[in-house]
Amino acid sequence: MRTGITVELSPEDRARLDKVIADRNTPQKHVRRAQIVVLTADGVGTMEIMERTGQSKPTVWRWQARFAEAGVDGLLRDKTRPPGKKPLSEATVRQVVTKTTTERPADATHWSARAMAKAVGIAVSSVQKIWRAHGLKPHQVRTFKLSNDPDFEAKLVDVVGLYLDPPDRALVLSVDEKSQIQALDRTQPGLPLKKGRAGTLTHDYKRHGTTTLFAALNLLDGSVIGRCMDKHRHQEFIKFLGTIDANTPADLDLHLIVDNYGTHKHANVMAWLEQHPRFHLHFTPTASSWLNMVERFFAEITRKRIRRGVFKSLTDLEIAIYKYLAEHNEHPKPFVWTATTNDILAKVDKARDALKAVVGIKR
């Protein structure tokens, strides 16, 4: 042991150090420090302490001095060290955040970490840390659409009212067309899914034509009336209205929620409706397809049956659609609308205020 370094342990300190050494959950660095001090107190020389603990001479001396200076508590904590690199200044952090949120690089639509690092003069990892800390993701973008329909609120109240408080002795049907569904056949067979490899599809394909799925979602039980047709003109829409008429109880009124597609408002459609007074059309606001519940069904059939399907002909595609409709209607599950009119209007007003602040448009 070095000259001038002595260790005298009180019964309390000895008990604490023995406990540190005996506890299997103690970090090994703390165990080695406690062993150095205990061996020193027992009069063991530096060379033997080095041999028993596997530590170097400077390490043994360091923890002898630390105990003399700070006691047992000093052994159980590390001294703070200055960072290897000087932390970024607040001004630099603000510069990165400001440039990310208010500027664009000259040669791109958004900032990359490398472009920002070069512009500000810091490391790429520093840019990434700043973005992560401030919740900024310039590589991502979300689309939105605010309706400019002057009757937005009235139409919203009408449609949401049907969802939340449907009329008695009536069925509420969400109706729309999913047009241009392509019958795509792949040029080569895909490889099957296996461990460590996803299933594959060739990027190129053969096109065998398109079909349009007319669908009416029954909001009461989730069942769907569907029919595939070549086109989606007013003639086809009238045919589909006839399909709805034939597949619903004749003693019930029918309230159909539709969008503002011109086909739904054609003069011939209006004439047909006059001859079938149990049909009532309710139009969603323009640019508000999210308000039509049948879109949720279209999303499911696309994801589950169409998008990754391989169809050798247009007939194959239509058979697949009709099979999906039949299986869906065996165990239908209704989609439940929960948002109230006030909730929706509050979000729309907030979005309009934000847009107004950016581009100065009038509400």
Average pLDDT for runs of 10 along the chain of length 363: 69 91 90 91 88 91 88 85 79 95 92 95 95 95 88 94 94 96 92 90 92 96 96 95 96 96 94 96 93 96 94 96 97 92 92 80 46
Residues 58 and 105 in one domain: no
Specify the pairing of strand 170-186 against strand 253-258.
parallel
Residues 339 and 260 in one domain: yes
Q: Decide if 6 is inside a domain.
A: no
pLDDT at residue 143 in the model: 86
Residues 67 and 104 in one domain: no
Residues 167 and 290 in one domain: yes
Structure tokens at 237: 């829409």
Secondary structure of residue 261 in the 3-state scheme: coil
Domain extent, residue 42, equals 11-75
Residues 173 and 256 in one domain: yes
Cβ neighbours, 10 Å, residue 131:
19
- Please enumerate, as own/partner, the contacts of 338-341 that have beta carbons within 8 Å and a separation of 24 or more: 339/160, 340/160, 340/164, 341/156, 341/157, 341/160, 341/161
Q: Decide if 276 is inside a domain.
A: yes
Going by C-beta distance under 8 Å and a sequence separation of 6 or more, which residues neighbour residue 53?
32, 35, 36, 39, 60
**Is residue 164 within 8 Å of residue 340, measured between CB atoms?**
yes
Q: What is the CATH number of the domain that holds 291?
A: 3.30.420.10
Residues 254 and 310 in one domain: yes
Residues 250 and 161 in one domain: yes
Q: Decide if 358 is inside a domain.
A: no
Residues 212 and 245 in one domain: yes
Residues 256 and 116 in one domain: no
pLDDT at residue 363 in the model: 43
Return d(Cα 309, Cα 202) in angstroms, integer: 12
Q: Identify which of 214, 277, 267 has the alpha carbon closest to the alpha carbon of residue 240.
A: 214
pLDDT at residue 78 in the model: 83
Return d(Cα 214, Cα 245) in angstroms, integer: 14
> Per-residue DSSP letters for 73-125?
HHHTSPPP---SSPPPPHHHHHHHHHHHHH---TTSSS--HHHHHHHHTS-HH
Cα dihedral: 22, 24, 26, 28 (round 10): 90
How many domains, in total, are found in the chain? Answer: 3
Q: What is the CA radius of gyration of the chain?
A: 36
Residue 241 Cα distances to 11, 85, 231, 294, 353, angstroms: 94, 72, 15, 16, 40
Half-sphere exposure (CA, 13 Å, Cβ side) for 94? 3
Q: Decide if 45 is inside a domain.
A: yes
pTM metric for this prediction: 0.70
Q: Identify which of 203, 178, 189 has the alpha carbon closest to the alpha carbon of residue 289.
A: 178
> To which H or E segment does residue 225 belong?
strand 224-229
Residues 288 and 259 in one domain: yes
Cβ neighbours, 10 Å, residue 356:
12
Residue 181, beta-bridge partner list: 211
Q: Decide if 157 is inside a domain.
A: yes
Q: Decide if 360 is inside a domain.
A: no
Q: Decide if 261 is inside a domain.
A: yes
Q: Identify which of 228, 237, 221 has the alpha carbon closest to the alpha carbon of residue 318.
A: 228
Q: Identify which of 240, 257, 250 has the alpha carbon closest to the alpha carbon of residue 173.
A: 257
> To which H or E segment does residue 272 belong?
helix 267-275
pLDDT at residue 74 in the model: 86
